[in-house]
C-alpha cells in the first residue's frame, strides 16, 4: 500500500486527537482506581484506602504498620508490654519457676490428684440424697470418704514445696481447725450408718463450701505460681449446693469459723476418727472407716 503525503498528514492528525482522549481516559481510570479512597474519606476510612494509602502514596510508613499496625493496635500497646499474659482472671502475672522441673511435675500430679478427689466428693454430695438403696448409699459415701482422705496425700506434696508461703499457711490454719475433719467425719458416718445419716450431706455443704474448698483453691493458686512459667490455676470442683450457701446464713459457717464442738481440729467426744488432720500425712489404712 502506498501512502501519499496527504494521507500521512491525516493519519498524524488523527493520532494527535486520540492522544488527549487516552490521557483523559487514563485520568478517569485513575479516578476510578482512587475513587474508593474518596468514598473512604467520607466514611472515615481514609487511612485504610488501598489506592491512595497504599505503598506508593502513603505506604507502610504512614498508614502501614506504624499507624495502623502493630505499634498502635498490635502487640506494643496491647501485647506483652502493657498487658502481659495472665494465668487466670485475677491477672496473676507469669513468673519464673521456683522449683526444679522434677519438682514441678510432682506438684502438678498432686494438683491433678487433689482436683480429682474434690470432684469425687462433690459428686456424692450431688447424688447422695437421691440414692434410696441403702447399700448403694453406703458404697458411694465410702468412695467419697476415701477420696477426702486421699486429699491429704496430695496436700502434703504441695506443703513440702511451699513451707514459707503466707497464703498457704493461712489456708492450712482454716483447714486444720476442724473444717476438713468435719467433712471426713460426716462421710464416715454415712459410709458406716447409711441413710440414717443423710443429713450429713447438708452439714458438709455448709462447712465445705465456706471453709474447705476456697482454701483448697488458695493452695491451687499458690502452687501454680510456684511452678510458674504460665502454669494454669485450677479450681476445686464444687457441688451444686455451693451456689446457695452463703457464709453465716441459714446454718452455714462464717469464714474461718471452726465447726461446733471441734477443738484443735477434732470433734470432742468422738471415739473413733480417721487420721485426717491436714498436718499429718494420710496412710492407706485411713481410707477404711472401721
Span 26-50, pLDDT tens digits:
444 444 444 344 433 333 344 443 4
- According to the model, what pLDDT value does residue 57 have? 41
Q: How far apart are CA 159 and CA 219, in angstroms?
A: 9
- Kindly state whether residue 114 falls inside one of the protein's structural domains: yes
User: Domain limits at 168?
Assistant: 101-287
- According to the model, what pLDDT value does residue 151 have? 97
- Kindly state whether residue 22 falls inside one of the protein's structural domains: no
CB 180 within 8 Å of CB 286? no
- Kindly state whether residue 34 falls inside one of the protein's structural domains: no
Closest CA to 210 of 154, 255, 178, 177: 255
- Kindly state whether residue 47 falls inside one of the protein's structural domains: no
Tally helices (H) and strands (E) across the chain: 11, 2
- Kindly state whether residue 36 falls inside one of the protein's structural domains: no
- Kindly state whether residue 124 falls inside one of the protein's structural domains: yes
- Kindly state whether residue 236 falls inside one of the protein's structural domains: yes
Nine-digit cell at 51?
A: 489506592
The radius of gyration computed from the CA coordinates of the chain, to the nearest angstrom, equals 36
- Kindly state whether residue 246 falls inside one of the protein's structural domains: yes
Least confidently predicted of 20-24, 185-189, 266-270: 20-24
| Residue 76: other Cβ atoms inside 10 A | 13
pLDDT in tens, 125-164: 999 999 999 999 999 999 999 999 999 999 999 999 999 9
Considering the chain, what percentage of its residues have pLDDT values greater than 70? 61
Q: What is the mean pLDDT of residues 159-175?
A: 96
Which run of H or of E encompasses 34?
helix 5-42
As for how many domains the chain has, the answer is 1
Q: Determine if the pTM surpasses 0.85.
A: no
Least confidently predicted of 146-150, 156-160, 258-262, 275-279: 275-279
Amino acid at each position: 500500500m502506498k501512502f501519499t503525503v496527504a494521507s500521512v498528514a491525516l493519519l498524524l492528525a488523527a493520532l494527535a486527537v486520540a492522544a488527549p482522549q487516552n490521557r483523559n481516559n487514563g485520568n478517569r481510570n485513575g479516578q476510578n482506581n482512587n475513587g474508593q479512597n474518596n468514598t473512604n474519606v467520607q466514611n472515615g476510612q481514609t487511612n485504610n484506602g488501598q489506592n491512595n494509602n497504599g505503598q506508593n502514596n502513603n505506604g507502610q510508613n504512614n498508614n502501614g504498620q506504624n499507624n495502623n499496625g502493630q505499634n498502635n493496635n498490635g502487640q506494643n500497646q496491647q501485647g506483652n508490654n502493657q498487658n502481659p499474659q495472665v494465668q487466670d482472671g485475677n491477672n496473676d502475672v507469669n513468673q519464673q519457676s521456683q522449683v526444679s522441673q522434677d519438682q514441678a511435675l510432682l506438684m502438678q500430679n498432686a494438683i491433678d490428684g487433689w482436683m480429682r478427689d474434690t470432684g469425687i466428693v462433690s459428686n456424692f454430695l450431688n447424688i447422695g440424697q437421691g440414692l434410696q438403696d441403702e447399700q448403694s448409699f453406703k458404697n458411694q459415701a465410702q468412695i467419697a470418704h476415701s477420696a477426702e482422705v486421699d486429699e491429704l496425700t496430695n496436700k502434703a506434696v504441695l506443703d513440702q514445696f511451699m513451707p514459707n508461703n503466707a497464703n498457704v499457711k493461712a489456708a492450712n490454719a482454716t483447714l486444720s481447725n476442724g473444717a476438713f475433719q468435719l467433712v471426713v467425719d460426716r462421710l464416715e458416718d454415712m459410709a458406716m450408718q447409711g441413710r440414717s445419716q443423710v443429713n450429713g450431706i447438708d452439714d458438709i455443704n455448709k462447712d465445705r463450701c465456706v471453709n474447705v474448698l476456697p482454701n483448697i483453691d488458695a493452695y491451687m493458686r499458690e502452687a501454680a505460681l510456684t511452678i510458674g512459667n504460665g502454669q494454669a490455676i485450677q479450681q476445686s470442683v464444687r457441688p451444686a449446693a455451693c451456689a446457695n450457701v452463703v457464709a453465716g446464713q441459714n446454718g452455714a459457717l462464717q469464714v474461718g469459723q471452726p465447726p461446733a464442738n471441734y477443738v484443735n481440729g477434732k470433734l470432742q467426744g468422738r471415739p473413733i476418727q480417721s487420721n485426717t488432720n491436714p498436718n499429718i500425712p494420710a496412710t492407706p489404712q485411713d481410707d477404711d472407716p472401721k
